[in-house]
Amino acid sequence: MLDDRDRLLLDLLQDDADRPVQELAERASLSASACSRRIQRLRDEGYLRRRVALVDRRRINLPTTVFVIVKTSRHSGGWLEEFRAALASIPEIVEVHRLTGNVDYILKVVLPDVEHYDTIYKRLVSRVELSDVSAYISMETMKADVPLPTRYA
């Protein structure tokens, strides 16, 4: 069970995982050693999965986001393994969700430009059978890379 200090540490680390332990400790009203132990416990208990760096997509020439809606008539275990393997082989596909309703999956694809989508489309459909694929170009990112709310833990 998390207490308020644990939640505060999670919030601070989501904002900037490179903060010095001393700064985190001061903000959480803890000693540096107690703060380090709490952070290690949060890692050990799986609250902190890993540390990553958020790369500026524009600086690495991936400013375009395309959301791809996928429908399939296949749902067998074998097909799902093929689909997972196809997704894993295409690094431009950065997020995938299985959905309820009329659509089976939504994929978030990052690209240097809209024209590059055709390359990704061809790679995907050459690896797995899909019944319908539709693409939607994001015009503007209005909210992204935000910290998760910690009050539910």
Residues ≥6 apart with Cβ < 8 Å to 73: 131
DSSP string, 64-124: EEEEEEEE-S---HHHHHHHHHHHHT-TTEEEEEE-SSS-SEEEEEEESSGGGHHHHHHHH
Other Cβ atoms less than 10 A from the Cβ of 39: the count is 20
In tens, the pLDDT along 37-84 reads 999 999 999 999 999 999 999 999 999 999 999 999 988 999 999 999
In tens, the pLDDT along 123-145 reads 999 999 999 999 999 999 999 98
Instruction: Tell me the average pLDDT of the chain.
Output: 96
What pLDDT score was predicted for residue 16?
96
Tokens of 119: 């390359």
Kindly report the backbone phi and psi dihedral angles of residue 81, in degrees, each rounded to the nearest multiple of 5, phi listed first.
Answer: -65, -40
What pLDDT score was predicted for residue 1?
87
Domains of the chain in start order, with CATH, are 4-44 (1.10.10.10), 64-137 (3.30.70.920)
Other Cβ atoms less than 10 A from the Cβ of 140: the count is 5
